[in-house]
């Protein structure tokens, strides 16, 4: 079966100030220089204020840079917003869209998320589309719920577009432990089947993900979307090694 490349992403959210972020970015750059696994892609999503630092620090490396949000218009009188063309010009390759915190705290709707996806794709950015169920349920019900969200979010783009589907059970975000390996495998298997017509789709799991999880779930997903557990770069190094040691193959 054809092999899909593994991918690991890290979002720093709003945990670190500028100086601490710089130290962390340099540590990741040093780690990448000493041997980022050849079969694993890594992207890092700092705060907007650290995008310039990330672009400079990761220049010439295999670490890609992303942003934590984007506005749906390319330009205009939208005070405080940042457009997809701006992010592309700033060196971003990825952009996170639809995270549960933005939906809950800032009231982002499915229509807003869809418009952001459209904006990202037309500017050549790869959307990291965050989708998840509010409560633990039977895997088949979770798949139906997540795919309904996915269909609305991607209604305006072609199926050939490159998209990262970040499945993040809302109930697992910020929890002490991720969802169980059996639960992840069952839901991921259903999502794989539902996403079969999207050739450039990559499926990653987020929600208290950290070292040891990929060893448990094998090739159920293409990789992980990390949060606070990647603040320790040694933990990130272990996740990257686990991603390299397991082979993701087409379902």
Task: Give me the mean pLDDT over the 151-175 stretch.
Answer: 97
Res. 2 pLDDT band, cuts 50 70 90:
very low
* CB neighbours of residue 231 within 10 Å: 15
Q: How far apart are the first and last CA of the chain?
A: 8
pLDDT of residue 245: 83
Q: Given 3.20.20.70, 3.30.70.100, 2.40.10.350, 3.90.10.10, which CATH number is that of 3-245?
A: 3.20.20.70
User: Tokens 């305006």 appear where?
Assistant: 156
Catalytic residue, candidates 96, 99, 108, 242: 99
**Radius of gyration (C-alpha) of the chain in whole angstroms:** 17
What mean pLDDT, rounded, does the chain reach?
95
Residue 251 has pLDDT above 90, yes or no: no
Q: Is 40:6 a contact under the CB 8 Å cutoff?
A: yes
Q: What is the mean pLDDT of residues 93-113?
A: 97
Annotated catalytic residue, options 96, 108, 168, 242: 168
Region 117-130: mean pLDDT is 98
Exposure on the CB side of residue 217, measured as CA atoms within 13 A:
28
CA 204 to chain centre: 7
> Average pLDDT for residues 75-80, to the nearest whole number?
98
The ranges assigned to domains in the chain are 3-245
Mark whether 23 is an active-site residue.
no
- The Cα 174–Cα 177 span in angstroms is 8
Query: Is residue 34 left, alpha or beta, with left meaning phi > 0 and alpha meaning psi from -120 to 50?
Result: alpha
The residue ranking higher by pLDDT, 202 or 35, is: 202
Position 247 scores a pLDDT of 54
């Amino acid at each position: 079966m054809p092999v899909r490349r593994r991918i690991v992403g890290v979002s720093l959210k709003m945990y670190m100030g500028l100086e601490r972020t710089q130290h962390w970015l340099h540590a990741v750059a040093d780690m990448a220089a000493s041997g980022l696994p050849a079969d694993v892609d890594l992207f890092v999503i700092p705060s907007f204020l650290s995008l310039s630092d990330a672009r400079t620090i990761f220049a010439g490396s295999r670490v890609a840079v992303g942003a934590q949000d984007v506005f749906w218009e390319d330009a205009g009188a939208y005070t405080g917003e940042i457009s997809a063309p701006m992010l592309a010009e700033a060196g971003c390759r990825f952009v996170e869209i639809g995270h549960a915190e933005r939906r809950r705290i800032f009231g982002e709707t499915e229509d807003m998320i869809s418009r952001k996806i459209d904006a990202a794709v037309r500017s050549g950015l790869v959307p990291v589309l965050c989708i998840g169920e509010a409560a633990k349920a039977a895997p088949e019900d979770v798949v139906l719920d997540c795919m309904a969200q996915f269909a609305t979010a991607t209604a305006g783009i072609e199926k050939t577009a490159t998209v990262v589907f970040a499945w993040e059970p809302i109930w697992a975000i910020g929890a002490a432990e991720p969802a169980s390996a059996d639960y992840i495998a069952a839901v991921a298997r259903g999502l794989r089947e539902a996403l079969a017509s999207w050739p450039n789709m990559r499926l990653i799991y987020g929600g208290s993900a950290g070292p040891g999880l990929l060893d448990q779930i094998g090739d159920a997903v293409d990789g992980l979307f990390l949060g606070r557990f990647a603040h320790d770069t040694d933990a990130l190094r272990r996740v990257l090694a686990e991603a390299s040691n397991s082979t993701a193959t087409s379902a």
